[in-house]
Amino acid sequence: EIVLTQSPGTLSLSPGERATLSCRASQRIYSNNLAWYQQKPGQAPRLLFYASSTRATGIPDRFSGRGSVTDFSGTDFSLTISGLEPEDVAVYYCQHYGSSPLTFGGGTKVEI
Amino acid sequence: EVQLVQSGAEVKKPGESLKISCKGSGYSFTSYWIGWVRQMPGKGLELMGLIYPGDSDSKYSPSFQGQVTISADKSINTAYLQWTSLRASDSAIYYCARQAIADDYFDTWGQGTLVTVSS
């Protein structure tokens, strides 16, 4: 089973600042098969990115995802929010796919 | 519009049975896997299992195998998550989510069903 470790646990920033969230896998994730979700308070999760850096429909471009740029596999992934807005307050989860069992990271809470 | 609409909140006693539902609309329900995801109070997301409504093929995450049953009725575009004997530790929000057609991430989520198990 691939274990995903997200850091930091909580990120407290001011509006307009840049947030960088990390997701580290215990084994290589091939084909950059990693997704990111946003869960706002009291809401269901929403897909932000798949294939580590492909933005889902309707996701603003202040959000960006990054995975391995060399061989489309790796263990370190990141999500960046450039120019935080109050509506970005949420918990962000990464999830790997492409091998069973699918697992989620523990989440990073973004506070403003 | 692709939508997954889940059944409403439930309050049950330990030992009771429960079946919650997830109705899909706006797409070919039989062509996409549906997953059930548990979120315990204040905690993260855990995939419980998946079902392919086209043929009812199902897969369970190891932690949930034997603890719940996932089923689907393709005639009414609905997937189900069922318990035969609830425990207090089953109290959580349960989400259904649709897997993308070509990959295993979840592109659409239901609104969640809160299950409270208390004596």
Q: B59 vs A51: CB contact, 8 Å cut-off?
A: no
CB contact A51 to B (< 8 Å): yes
Q: A33 vs B103: CB contact, 8 Å cut-off?
A: yes
- What is the nearest CA distance from B14 to chain A, expressed in angstroms? 26
In percent, the amount of chain A with pLDDT more than 90 equals 80
Averaged pLDDT of chain A: 92
- What is the nearest CA distance from A2 to chain B, expressed in angstroms? 13
Q: What is the mean pLDDT of residues A76-97?
A: 95
Q: A101 vs B109: CB contact, 8 Å cut-off?
A: no
For the record, the structure tokens of B62 come out as: 């190891």
Residue A71 has pLDDT above 80, yes or no: no
Nearest CA in chain B to A55: B107
- Tens of pLDDT, residue by residue over B54-70, are 999 999 999 999 999 99
pLDDT value at residue B105: 96
- Tens of pLDDT, residue by residue over B13-33, are 999 999 999 999 999 999 999
Residue A49 has pLDDT above 60, yes or no: yes
Neighbours of B60 (CB within 10 A): 19
Nearest CA in chain A to B112: A44
Task: Name chain B contacts of A35, Cβ cutoff 8 Å.
Answer: 105-106
**Chain B interface, best mutation among A7, A50, A72, A108, by max B CB count within 10 A:** A50
DSSP A102: P
Residue closest to B113 by CA, chosen among B3, B11, B10, B2: B10
How far is Cα A54 from Cα B15, in angstroms, rounded to an integer? 45
Task: Let me know: does A4 contact A103? Beta carbons within 8 Å.
Answer: yes
How far is Cα B12 from Cα A111, in angstroms, rounded to an integer? 34
Residue A93 has pLDDT above 70, yes or no: yes
Q: B46 vs A104: CB contact, 8 Å cut-off?
A: yes
How far is Cα A82 from Cα B59, in angstroms, rounded to an integer? 38
Closest Cβ–Cβ partner in B44, B103, B112 for A50: B103
Residue A24 has pLDDT above 60, yes or no: yes
Task: Let me know: does B106 contact B2? Beta carbons within 8 Å.
Answer: no
